[in-house]
């Protein structure tokens, strides 16, 4: 599996007075097994970008290759692309519609041509994978809590057995425990099921603990692209575009200024704690 974006541009409302260049010359590659964080403030183009990955929006110019095939080629099967690149939108309320959870999760697999029986197996496995308690399988999706709805929404996409899972702000509106549960689930899908993950977020702290790679977007362009350590090293640059490094990075810098020999590239809490304990006399 690989996705390559080659000089992708996208312009909203072309030819009118509110013409906006939402994506500006985007090129990068997503490799099999990646865990990518896509960061940017509202309006930076990150949501527009992910909608290109499964062909919901068509680039104004440029190419996207999935496993070496150009998805804009005539006769390319976009439906099969959408089953391979699963996109979970921010609000589960936008996709839940069936009378019970199980039927709702069957919707995706049935659309891509699975038989009733196959779809049910896929749905059952997906609901198990997102750890939804079995007693909730046959209740109305509208009666679930926010966190449960989000699980069902993820299961609805997982049931199509995607190779890549793109999650747009999966933790918005959840309380801290709900957030940790969903992010933990996403990590597990990556580690155990081997699914490539693209996590769209504006929270650096959320992302720093989980992802291997960060792409920072600003004004439709890729502003930075690197490991969390590389990206957070440029904290002041991030602040200029309305973002920030995780709080611990700033603490490490302040301690370094105060003379302690701490690791200023620490981005997660445990790294920071290790580094501080190594730098002070107890």
Binding mask 68-87 for another protein (x = CB under 8 A): -----------x--xx--xx
Looking at the Cβ atoms of 8 and 248, the one nearer to another protein is 248
Of 240, 227, 223, 239, residue with least CA distance to 271: 227
Looking at the Cβ atoms of 25 and 180, the one nearer to another protein is 180
Pairing of strands 69-70, 61-66: antiparallel
> What is the rounded radius of gyration, in angstroms, for the C-alpha atoms of the chain?
20
Q: Write the DSSP assignment of 10-67 as a string of letters.
A: EEESTTSTT-EEEEEEEEEEEETT-EEEEE--TTSSHHHHHHHHTTSS--SEEEEEET
> Which member of 1, 4, 112, 139 binds another protein (CB under 8 A)?
112
> Which member of 68, 135, 176, 192 binds another protein (CB under 8 A)?
176
Max CA distance (Å), the chain? 68
Angle, CA 186 vertex, CA 209 and CA 35 arms, to 5°: 60
**Counting contacts by CB under 8 A, is residue 280 touching another protein?**
yes
Q: Strands across the sheet with 35-39, in order? A: 85-88, 164-168, 196-201, 35-39, 213-218, 221-226
Binding mask 225-244 for another protein (x = CB under 8 A): -----------------xxx
**Counting contacts by CB under 8 A, is residue 45 touching another protein?**
no
Owner of token pair 């990068």: 28
Which stretch in 20-28, 30-38, 66-74, 171-179 sits in contact with another protein by CB under 8 A? 171-179
> Which member of 95, 125, 188, 265 binds another protein (CB under 8 A)?
95
> Which member of 178, 188, 225, 233 binds another protein (CB under 8 A)?
178
> Which member of 32, 61, 77, 277 binds another protein (CB under 8 A)?
277
Of 201, 205, 218, 198, residue with least CA distance to 244: 205
**Counting contacts by CB under 8 A, is residue 56 touching another protein?**
yes
Is 157 within 8 Å of 185 (Cβ atoms)?
no
Looking at the Cβ atoms of 1 and 20, the one nearer to another protein is 20
**Counting contacts by CB under 8 A, is residue 276 touching another protein?**
yes
Minimum distance, C-beta of residue 1 to another protein, in the bound complex (Å): 18
Owner of token pair 């769209």: 200
d(Cα 245, Cα 205) in Å, to the nearest integer?
8
Minimum distance, C-beta of residue 77 to another protein, in the bound complex (Å): 11
Give the torsion through C-alpha atoms of 203, 208, 212, 215, to 10 deg: 40
- Total residues contacting another protein (rule CB under 8 A)? 69
**Counting contacts by CB under 8 A, is residue 260 touching another protein?**
yes
Binding site for another protein (CB under 8 A): 13, 16-17, 41-43, 51, 54, 56, 79, 82-83, 86-89, 91, 93-97, 107-108, 111-112, 142, 145-147, 156-157, 160, 172-178, 180, 202-203, 205, 242-244, 246-248, 250-251, 254-255, 258-261, 269-270, 272-273, 276-282
């Amino acid at each position: 599996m690989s996705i390559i974006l080659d000089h992708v541009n996208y312009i909203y409302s072309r030819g009118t007075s509110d013409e906006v260049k939402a994506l500006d010359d985007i090129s990068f590659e997503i490799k099999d097994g990646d865990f990518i964080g896509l960061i940017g403030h509202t309006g930076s183009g990150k949501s527009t970008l992910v909608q290109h990955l499964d062909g919901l929006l068509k680039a104004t110019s440029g190419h996207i290759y999935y496993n070496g095939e150009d998805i804009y080629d005539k006769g390319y099967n976009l439906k099969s692309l959408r089953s391979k690149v699963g996109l979970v939108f921010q609000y589960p309320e936008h996709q839940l519609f069936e009378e019970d959870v199980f039927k709702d999760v069957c919707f995706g697999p049935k659309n891509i041509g699975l038989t009733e029986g196959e779809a049910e197996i896929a749905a059952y496995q997906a609901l198990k994978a997102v750890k939804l308690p079995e007693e909730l399988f046959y209740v109305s999706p509208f009666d679930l809590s926010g966190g449960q709805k989000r699980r069902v929404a993820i299961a609805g996409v997982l049931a199509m057995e995607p190779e890549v899972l793109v999650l747009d702000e999966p933790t918005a509106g959840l309380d801290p425990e709900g957030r940790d549960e969903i992010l933990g689930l996403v990590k597990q899908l990556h580690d155990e099921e081997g699914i490539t993950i693209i996590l769209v977020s504006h929270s650096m702290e959320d992302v720093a603990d989980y992802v291997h790679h960060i792409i920072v977007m600003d004004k439709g362009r890729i502003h930075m692209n690197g490991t969390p350590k590389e990206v957070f090293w440029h904290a002041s640059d991030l602040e200029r575009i309305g973002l920030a490094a995780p709080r611990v990075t700033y603490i490490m810098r302040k301690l370094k200024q105060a003379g302690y020999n701490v690791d200023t590239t620490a981005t997660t809490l445990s790294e920071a704690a290790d580094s501080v304990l190594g730098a002070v006399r107890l």
